[in-house]
């Protein structure tokens, strides 16, 4: 493990004003998203769509890294440039999703544990050779009647920590993603309590596995009421509860927190990020690692039509720029209309 490489890469991932594009949808997920806009999911259409994102104008000013899927890291552009090299040429770090998905946790109804540790050391060697400089592993925590159990939190925290240690062994920065799902009718206070429990256990396991905190990035969900809750929280309430949770649980040694959007609209995700940064400075960089909150406007315009590719790419650049402004608390909702 080269600590200097890890620390430098992690700092670049959460550089001021920038965030990470999550373009690591599994085959099933990308099929659903393409089908939703009338596009058949084939290797060619998936490649065309990812190339549209990776070649969008000026994104290197707003995007520090891109999380790729196994298929995507092996693909090349229409000009025969491997996607990792294309991104690196723009000063954008290539990353890779390495987990094998959340599976039912044995003897625990409605709870899941993420799998993929078997053979991960060897896969990291290959991904490093393909150009990956960071990785991602997602765990999911569901809130419901009697859940999450401590068993579920413990199992996922341990897997996240073991993954992170293996990544750092390969000089790859781990993104540690414990997502407390937005599904449910719980209020924001319940979400906060569960998130505190989860983060406490995750960082305990990271320390047990000797993970270098300065060489990792946390990718958490924001503290939100469940989407079926009778009362939804205001932007300021979300910012306050999320920051309070982070200050109680996340060591200052961690260089950055790159939030997932987790079912929020693009506008909500940007507004919440902006409200948190307006309350700064913080011990860590408060950044973003969005998938749908960056991509939904792009898909709605593109819809698989080549003549719309330029407009779709411009929409991606505009969305990235709005989140760039939110990184410093300079976003205003009125900017949505001008965009």
The residues assigned a catalytic role are 177, 219
Q: How far is it, in rounded angstroms, from Cα 334 to Cα 339?
A: 9
Closest Cα partner for 250 from 281, 187, 206? Answer: 206
Q: Is 88 exposed, middle or buried (0-12, 13-18, 19+ CB in 10 A)?
A: middle
Closest Cα partner for 297 from 338, 273, 260, 265? Answer: 265
CB 64 within 8 A of CB 93: yes
Residues in the chain: 339
CB 46 within 8 A of CB 71: yes
- Phi, psi for 282 (deg, rounded to 5): -120, 165
């Amino acid at each position: 493990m080269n600590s200097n490489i890890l620390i430098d890469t992690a700092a670049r991932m959460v550089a001021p004003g920038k965030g990470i594009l999550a373009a690591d949808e599994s085959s099933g997920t990308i099929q659903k998203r393409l089908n939703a806009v009338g596009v058949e999911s084939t290797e060619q259409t998936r490649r065309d769509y990812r190339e549209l994102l990776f070649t969008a104008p000026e994104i290197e000013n707003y995007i520090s890294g891109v999380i790729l899927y196994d298929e995507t890291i092996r693909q090349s552009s229409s000009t025969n440039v491997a996607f990792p090299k294309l991104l690196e040429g723009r000063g954008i770090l290539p990353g890779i999703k390495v987990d094998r998905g959340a599976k039912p946790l044995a003897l625990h109804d409605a709870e899941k544990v993420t799998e993929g540790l078997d053979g991960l050391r060897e896969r990291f060697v290959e991904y490093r050779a393909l150009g990956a400089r960071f990785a991602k592993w997602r765990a999911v925590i569901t809130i419901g009647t009697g859940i999450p159990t401590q068993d579920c939190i413990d199992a996922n925290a341990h897997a996240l920590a073991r993954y992170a240690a293996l990544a750092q062994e390969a000089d790859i920065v781990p993104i540690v993603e414990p997502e407390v799902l937005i599904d449910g009718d719980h209020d924001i206070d319940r979400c906060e309590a569960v998130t505190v429990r989860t983060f406490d256990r995750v960082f305990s396991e990271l320390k047990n596995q000797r993970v270098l905190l300065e060489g990792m990035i946390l990718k958490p969900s924001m503290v939100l009421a469940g989407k079926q809750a009778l009362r939804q929280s205001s932007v300021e309430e979300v910012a306050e509860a999320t920051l309070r949770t982070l200050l109680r649980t996340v060591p200052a040694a961690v260089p950055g927190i790159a939030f997932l959007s987790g079912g929020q609209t693009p506008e909500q995700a940007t507004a919440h990020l902006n409200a948190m940064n307006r309350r700064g400075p913080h011990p860590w960089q408060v950044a973003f690692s969005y998938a749908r909150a960056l991509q939904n406007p792009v898909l709605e315009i593109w819809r698989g039509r080549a003549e719309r590719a330029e407009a779709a790419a411009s929409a991606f650049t505009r969305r990235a720029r709005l989140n760039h402004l939110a990184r410093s608390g300079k976003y205003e909702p009125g900017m949505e209309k001008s965009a």
